[in-house]
Amino acid sequence: MSGSPREEEKPALQLRVIEDSERDRWNRLAASTEVADVLQSYEWGELKRAFGWVPHRVLLEQEGKPVAQASLLERRLPIGKSLFYCARGPLLDYGDGGLVREVMTLLGDYCRRRGGFLLKIDPAVERTTADQTVGALQACGFRELGDETGFGGTQPRCVMKLALGPGTDALLAACKPKTRYNIRLAGRRGVEVRDDCQAEGLRPFYDLLQVTAERDGFVVRSYGYFEKLLALLAPAGLARLFLAYCEGEPIAGALVTRFGTTCCYLYGASANVQRERMPSYLVQWRMIEWAQSQGCGEYDFRGVSPNPEADDHLRGLNRFKAGFNARFVEYIGEFDLPLSRPHYCLWTVGRPAAIKLLKGLRKSPSASSTD
């Protein structure tokens, strides 16, 4: 009795930790993916290394060809185990459920062998097209988290994005009338935006950021963190600092990243004075113009509230970003893969209290930030 020939099986994936000499190749591969994010860049891993994390950069290859990659950040905890976090990754084709399962299984095994009790991921996969992806992650043992507070997770679960395909005239015309008016108003009222700020511009920006944090009730990282961020990312063309001045005084600013074809608004700040001049609107517009001049196809306004009606400040933030005609995007959010059940249970019980304590310490003038 004759039978049909058996379908040829695909070669198994091989996991390989890259060498430092492969930095440029790593960035080229990461920047070329559909879900590219600066948080998966080589330089971002070095930034986190300076503040207590250990980066592990792994390629998943099939017959020598890369099909996935992940920059895993390891943090050793007092419980004697490590947390592994893959911010906005891993990078792969999430439309291929079989590939998702194979990659996540290999990454879980890699972290477990190195004493990991948890692998946390939050890939840039949109919720509207994610049923297959979520099912594949759950099949691997991942737990979907449901944090509805703030921006909805370690990285924002909801963001706003602006396609930069149209020319600047068309982009300005597409803004809401009030936003377009405020952009022009800032220029008429003497606001000047400088887009080539170097290290000397960081101190005034950080001072503005502290003012903003005090006003809006959030915790700001240490000055050393921003100093390191700019020193590592700016020379590689991955970060740029913008400052708005009026009569020689800085009154607003923003820090943006550029990776692949995406420009991302990372941090913004403004003074308590001169706000009637609308400097933040002009800063955003100049960054959009700059992103388009760099060949970017998308401008990411980053975090907005999943529930904009729940908080006055976040509701205003949503309105501000929506005014530029940006599209609301919801990602699938955070997923946890427990690698050691007892330690993971300890983490889920103790983490909320630890975060509350850490935030209290950071708000104390005498405390230093741990970043």
Higher pLDDT residue, 79 or 44? 44
- pLDDT at position 257 over 50: yes
Asked whether this chain's domains 14-148+332-363 and 158-330 adopt the same fold, the reply is yes
Per-domain boundaries in the chain: 14-148+332-363, 158-330
362 pLDDT band, cuts 50/70/90, is: very low
pLDDT at 92: 95
pLDDT at position 74 over 50: yes
170-199 residue pLDDT tens:
999 999 999 999 999 999 999 999 987 888
CATH superfamily, domain at 14-148+332-363:
Gcn5-related N-acetyltransferase (GNAT) (3.40.630.30)
Query: Is the model's pLDDT at 129 over the cut of 90?
Result: no
**Which has more confidence, 4 or 178?**
178
Q: Which residues pair with 255 in a beta bridge?
A: 241, 267
Q: Quickly state the pLDDT bin for 84 (edges 50, 70, 90).
A: very high
Fold for 158-330, please state it.
Answer: Aminopeptidase (3.40.630)
The pLDDT of residue 10? 76
pLDDT digits (tens, 9 = 90+) for 45-71: 999 999 999 999 999 999 999 999 999
Q: What is the mean pLDDT of residues 8-15?
A: 83
pLDDT category at 28 given cuts 50, 70, 90 is very high
Q: What is the mean pLDDT of the chain?
A: 90
pLDDT (average), residues 141-157:
80
Q: Which residue has the higher pLDDT, 20 or 146?
A: 20
Residue range 295-354, pLDDT digits in tens: 999 999 999 988 766 665 678 889 999 999 999 999 999 999 999 999 999 888 877 765
pLDDT, average across residues 208-229: 94
What's the confidence (pLDDT) of residue 200? Answer: 87
